[in-house]
Structure 1
Amino acid sequence: MKLASIVRSPSVSANLSQSSSDGNSEMSLDWRNFSLYDYIRYELRGTYLLENDAGEMRMRRDKFYKFLKIPRELEKFMWFGFLQCVDVFVSLFTLLPIRFLLSLWFLVTKSRSKSLRDGLSNNQGGSTLKPAEICDLLKGIMFIIGASLIFYIDTSMLYHIIKSQSVIKLYIFFNMLELADKLITSFGLDILDTLYWTATEPRGRKREHFGVIPHLFMTVVYIFVHTILVLLQATTLNVAINSSNNALLTIWMSNNFVELKGMVFKKFEKNNLFQMSCNDVKERFHLLIILFVVIMQTMKEYNWDERHFWILIPYCLTIFISEFAVDWVKHCFVTRFNDISHEIYHTYTISLSYDIASSNLKSAYSDHADTISKRMGFVPLPLGLLLMKVFVISVPLNGWYGISSIVLGFLCLITFKFWLNILLIGQALEIIEAHRADQESNNPLKRRCTSLPASRQPSMENIPANLNLPLRSKVLNKENQINNKDD
């Protein structure tokens, strides 16, 4: 038979004999007498054993279990990053007004005979304001000017213009807004850093910038344009939720799943995955603020009727659940296809913890809010201006009742901000200490640095006795010289 001739070939016989010697001896067959009946019988009754490939099967099972752990580890990181975004956003309405007033007071009292341009300088002869106070003053000025401009925008007119468009036009329009938001956010972080450095750069160097006033003008234009984009996003989503035709909302939600096509099959390194994870944290917070704005606008249109609130909640929950599902599926398959362990998200959490700890040092090079904004790609000013505008036009606060409500709300908000910041700092320090303890247990001979990278000092406690003896003796001589000078 043709089957018997194939089986009797030298290559096939060699492979079969090798597999028989590796496995159970009872599995050997007499291939010379192998008939068609025997072939059919063995095809119908499988005789393979999975334990012959136990190592591969265990590896696949472990890979599957790690795949199931991705959502849990991802949410730990996302929750930690989300709380940091909340902390930065709340500080926009609590600490920034206080810091702005203090900086303005210092500017007026310390430089009555100086101009504003001299006050914003940072020369070695003595500047009127510290760099942190200059940045707070600029942030307050940008917030005030942006709020003054955004209140001239008629949200009702925008709503009716968007509502009169077709479903396809709105779908394309929303995709354009989402893309423009990502691009302008990246541009906004650069222009803000440029403004802060231009205002606080030491004098005496060669002039390599346009000046503080032109940079401030460009930053205000950016903030106004970005706020308009966010307002259009919120208005488009408001039209989708309150429309009698649910097709627009369905198409908008399906846009999240289109994101999977562009992300899942790409090659990702660990640094790229970190950037994508931080961007997902920012997008989740961004979506929460927009949904809150939509709820406030809708409740205002229906005179704060409770029934319409419970009508809106299922739509908002559906949008948020779809966002969670897309993030889980995206990260699960990105880590699977790029062979990245679920433990990488704990490493990302450690990195965020070091950001929190380093930004609270005396030698910190940036404010805590600015550090988190750069890490997450999050610019809080446009969202803050949008929320303030919607709150002012939606909630009537008049007379002493309105003033007392604003004061009470401010006190509650600043209390929450302090509590949240203390909670984040404590949690960050716990994560850092656990990370260092784990490093010391795994690498006992590795240099043990008891201080943060921003405040490293040469110390004998940081150098093991059996490692780097020349450096140890050098540090010891330096410490002896310091002690002799003190004596």
Structure 2
Amino acid sequence: MSDKFLLERSPVKYLLEEMHGGNSLRMTTTLANEKDRERVYDTIFRMPWRCELLIDVGFFVCLDSFLSLLTIMPIRLLTSSWRLLKTRQLKSLSAADLSDFGCFLMLASGIILLQQTDISLIYHMIRGQGTIKLYVVYNVLEIFDKLCQNFGGDVLQTLFNTADGFANCSPENMRYWLWRFISDEALAAITLSTCIVAHNNALFALLVSNNFSEIKSNVFKRFNKDNIQSLVYFDSVERFHIASFLIFVLAQNILEAEGPWFENFLYNAFVVYICELMIDIIKHCFIAKFNEVKPIVYSEFLEDLCKQTLNIQPDNPKKTLTFVPLAPASVVIRVLSPVYAAHIPCGPMVWRVVWIFMLSVMTFVMLTSLKLIIGMGLRKHATWYIKRCQGRKLHSD
């Protein structure tokens, strides 16, 4: 029968049938339905900008928290210290005041720890290493940094809870809560020190790109909605860490670079940002595709983040962006201090103190202004976006 089929079918007839038989790939592909078509459009067009918008808003939330640590917290500490000196009673401090003192002590301990390290030596040691060795060390530090970030958030929550208990305790239990507050403070300081070890080697993020292994380790896994939300929040925090890494490199170039280096720095920073942007978009697009997650889910994540910006408590703690700015702040202050010191003119001690005071005031005013702009902008955006989401829900109902 097969011989008869081959005899009756000439090559010309076979070619004509193939030409007029429909799609040339019909034997190895299937026709897409409307659902498949929407999935393709979601992956290519709708998901990227929603994902990037969420990550960018998360980045500014982290930046706002970072600026609050450097601007709002010192003002609160001064007012609390003045009130404490007037009353001379530790009981007059509230839980928020005790939390501010705890954060200040951790920040100070981190800066003191970093003062004992030679940043320039570390910088040149990193530059002299081979690519393979840097790749291995970077992966170890990245895992270590993620663990420290997660544990550091838990430690700070414990510290704030203890501060609340100490502020509201009775005089009979004050000794117990004071001991617990000091213990939690020590634990937080130790955790911060381990975080700083990872941040101190931050230049690895610019020397070695680990992005494609990040895609490989994420896109083929099964994720639920909460895990995807935690992942995109972590990408926002990572974006902020990269910005702090760039400040580290900028400070080192200001102190040690020779010749025209600024254009090269801007180019490298732009390349790092574009690579990070593309990798995050590709990663989340395919995670959403393989887990059948609609782009509207990322809009829901953004709504949760806007509620967090307005201090609206979510029903699920996993829906909050957790960011501890103490370690990045310690690194930034440490690497920028020599830059400021290099621009203080030589002269009598009084004149140098005046210059230090003027530079400190100017920096504080600029950071406070930036904090006000970003904070008010985030609140206005959050209010507008939540109203928009509520309006859409009313129309859909």
Q: Place the TM-score, normalised by the shorter chain, in its bin.
A: 0.7 to 0.9
Deviation at 1:40? 1.5
Question: Which string of whole-angstrom CA distances, capped at 9 and with x for unpartnered residues, describes residues 18-69 of structure 1?
Answer: xxxxxxxxxxxxxxxx94249625542233389xx99944433322211112
The structure 1 residue matched to 2:224, chosen from 269, 284, 292, is 269
| Alpha-carbon spacing, 1:47–1:168, altered in 2? closer, same or farther (3 Å) | closer
The structure 2 residue matched to 1:392, chosen from 308, 333, 337, is 337
Q: CA RMSD in A?
A: 3.1
Q: 1:198 corresponds to which letter in structure 2?
A: T
Matched, 1:76 2:53: yes
Q: Contact 1:103–1:136 at 8 Å: present in 2 too?
A: no
Q: Contact 1:89–1:380 at 8 Å: present in 2 too?
A: yes
Determine the structure 1 residue equivalent to 2:348: none
- TM-score after normalising by structure 2: 0.85
| Structure possessing the higher radius of gyration over alpha carbons | 1
Deviation at 1:181? 0.4
User: Equivalent pairs: percent with the same residue?
Assistant: 26
| Alpha-carbon spacing, 1:404–1:61, altered in 2? closer, same or farther (3 Å) | same
Partners of 2:178 and 2:99 in 1: CA distance: 17
Matched, 1:44 2:18: yes
Partners of 2:131 and 2:395 in 1: CA distance: 60
Partners of 1:59 and 1:314 in 2: CA distance: 42
The structure 1 residue matched to 2:378, chosen from 404, 416, 424, is 424
Q: Contact 1:356–1:425 at 8 Å: present in 2 too?
A: yes
Q: Contact 1:177–1:233 at 8 Å: present in 2 too?
A: no
Question: Which string of whole-angstrom CA distances, capped at 9 and with x for unpartnered residues, describes residues 458-485 of structure 1?
Answer: xxxxxxxxxxxxxxxxxxxxxxxxxxxx
Q: Contact 1:184–1:226 at 8 Å: present in 2 too?
A: yes
Partners of 1:186 and 1:401 in 2: CA distance: 40
The residue correspondences of 1:288-327 to structure 2 (distance < 5 A) are 288-302=243-257, 305=259, 307-327=260-280
The structure 2 residue matched to 1:91, chosen from 64, 68, 75, is 68
By relative contact order (CA 8 Å, sep 6+), the higher-ranking structure is: 2
Q: Contact 1:103–1:137 at 8 Å: present in 2 too?
A: no
Deviates more, 1:93-102 or 1:402-411: 402-411
| Alpha-carbon spacing, 1:60–1:297, altered in 2? closer, same or farther (3 Å) | same
Determine the structure 1 residue equivalent to 2:188: 219
SS at match of 2:80: helix
Question: Which string of whole-angstrom CA distances, capped at 9 and with x for unpartnered residues, describes residues 201-260 of structure 1?
Answer: 1436897996111211121122122123201223x45xxx7xxxxxxx4xx12x211111
The residue correspondences of 1:356-395 to structure 2 (distance < 5 A) are 356-358=309-311, 375-395=320-340
Q: Contact 1:267–1:338 at 8 Å: present in 2 too?
A: yes
Matched, 1:2 2:7: no
Question: Quick check: which one's helix share is greater?
Answer: 2
Partners of 2:94 and 2:275 in 1: CA distance: 46
The residue correspondences of 1:61-72 to structure 2 (distance < 5 A) are 61-69=37-45, 70-72=47-49
Gaps of 5+ in 2: 345-351
Q: 1:176 corresponds to which letter in structure 2?
A: V
SS at match of 2:310: helix
Partners of 1:42 and 1:154 in 2: CA distance: 77
Q: Contact 2:120–2:252 at 8 Å: present in 1 too?
A: no
Matched, 1:342 2:319: no
Q: 1:260 corresponds to which letter in structure 2?
A: I
Instruction: Provide the aligned length of Structure 1 versus Structure 2.
Output: 376
The residue correspondences of 1:4-403 to structure 2 (distance < 5 A) are 35-37=8-10, 40-41=14-15, 43-48=17-22, 56-69=32-45, 70-110=47-87, 112=88, 114=89, 119=90, 127-201=91-165, 202-203=168-169, 211-234=180-203, 236=204, 249=207, 252-253=208-209, 255-302=210-257, 305=259, 307-358=260-311, 375-396=320-341, 397-398=343-344, 399=352, 400-403=354-357
Deviation at 1:328? 1.3
Deviation at 1:160? 4.0
Q: Contact 1:66–1:342 at 8 Å: present in 2 too?
A: yes
Gaps of 5+ in 1: 6-33, 120-126, 242-248, 366-370, 444-487
Partners of 2:393 and 2:20 in 1: CA distance: 50
Partners of 1:86 and 1:391 in 2: CA distance: 17
- TM-score after normalising by structure 1: 0.70
| Alpha-carbon spacing, 1:348–1:4, altered in 2? closer, same or farther (3 Å) | farther
